Amino acid sequence: MTLLHPRLRALENSLGVSTLSPIIDPKLSDLRIRLWLKRDDLLHPIISGNKWRKLKYPLNDALVKGADTLVSMGGAYSNHLHALAFAGKSLGLQTIGYVRGEQPKIFNRTLQDLSQWGMELRFVSRGDYRMLRAYKDSDMADLSSNQYWLPEGGASALALKGVSEIVAEMPIDFEHLFVACGTGTTLAGLIAAAPVHCRVTGVAALKGAGFLNREVKQLLSQNQIYTNWQIIQDYHFGGFAKSTADLEQFVRQFYASHSITLEPVYTGKLLYAVFDLLQKGYFKTGQRIVVLHTGGLQGARH
């Protein structure tokens, strides 16, 4: 048990509850398959979903070590920077965000929020951004002792500990666990925590995601080999943040049927994949599937 810093404990206590919502659908009941959505989108409107899970222990580490500034990186629509800026403000920590690309003349809503919450934005070229990616768990060069580095997407080994708490909260047994993948950090945390008889599947939100297999293995502890997992690459819909009319229609239809909002970048592709696999006979009769709703609805604003 890691003792939580009082400021982090207070932030955690202010969060909502992630429930397990059963999805009722004739496509499922015909096959006697049960499906639940683990509603991490209900944790917080901004530090939503897996971003809280991934940030929890790194933020605690920063507080315990007495850092006063959090430093990280992301794209101009980054849910990670958005959650980090808000969490930093809530915890009384300064934040610095390296943002990929030139500073735009007009800020989108994500960037507007970041600067409003006091994040210092440093726009960097794509080349420099790639170089920053090399700083994983190791501290970034040129940081002073009061600054705390978090890699892109919060992809650190310490992030896995918070993600594993998702599995610990699950009140039911299940055969399948599905999650959307960006950096694969959330997937890695679920793999490390899932029961052995459970198959953990990541659905890549980006094109050419083969490299994620290596990244996930790197994040998982070296002394244990996990085999009960896979990353499916067939549901990127053209690439990261790309969408199609079919996907948009699916997201609308899902809301109409279940009153649960998805976004097309991650969770829309994830649920589309699960229902497509269902239609193709991928699941066995009687199986129980849990799909993680990782939140991220802010990124869908335009």
Ligand X SMILES: *Cc1c(COP(=O)(O)O)cnc(C)c1O
Name the site residues for ligand X (rule: CB under 6 A): 49-51, 79-80, 153, 180-187, 266-267, 294-296
Q: Please, what is the minimum distance in Å from the beta carbon of residue 142 to ligand X?
A: 25
Q: Which is nearer to ligand X, 266 or 275 (CB)?
A: 266
Q: At 178, give phi and psi (nearest 5°).
A: -120, 140
Residue 178, beta-bridge partner list:
201, 291
Q: Please, what is the minimum distance in Å from the beta carbon of residue 214 to ligand X?
A: 14
How, if at all, do strands 120-124 and 94-100 pair?
A: parallel
Q: Which is nearer to ligand X, 140 or 265 (CB)?
A: 265
Q: What is the C-alpha separation between 127 and 12, in angstroms, rounded?
A: 37
Helix (H), strand (E) at residue 256: helix 245-258
The HSE-up count of residue 40 (CA atoms within 13 Å, CB side) is 27
Residue appearing with tokens 């459970």: 198
Q: Fill in the amino acid letter for 94.
A: Q
Q: Which is nearer to ligand X, 111 or 181 (CB)?
A: 181
Q: What is the DSSP string of 25-54?
A: -HHHHTTT-EEEEEEGGGS-SSS-THHHHH
Q: Please, what is the minimum distance in Å from the beta carbon of residue 205 to ligand X?
A: 7
Whether the Cβ atoms of residue 52 and residue 294 lie closer than 8 Å to each other:
no
Q: Which is nearer to ligand X, 70 or 187 (CB)?
A: 187
Question: CA torsion 218→222→227→232, rounded to 10°?
Answer: -10
Q: Please, what is the minimum distance in Å from the beta carbon of residue 67 to ligand X?
A: 22
Q: Which is nearer to ligand X, 33 or 36 (CB)?
A: 36
Task: Give the distance, in angstroms, between the CA of residue 240 and the centroid of all CA atoms in the same chain.
Answer: 14
CA 259 vs CA 24, 167, 294: distances in Å:
12, 24, 16
Whether the Cβ atoms of residue 181 and residue 205 lie closer than 8 Å to each other:
yes
Of residues 63, 41, 60, the one with CA closest to residue 50 = 41
Q: Please, what is the minimum distance in Å from the beta carbon of residue 47 to ligand X?
A: 11
Q: Which is nearer to ligand X, 75 or 88 (CB)?
A: 75
Q: Which is nearer to ligand X, 88 or 268 (CB)?
A: 268
Q: Please, what is the minimum distance in Å from the beta carbon of residue 9 to ligand X?
A: 24
In the complex, residue closest to ligand X by CB: 296
Q: Please, what is the minimum distance in Å from the beta carbon of residue 78 to ligand X?
A: 8
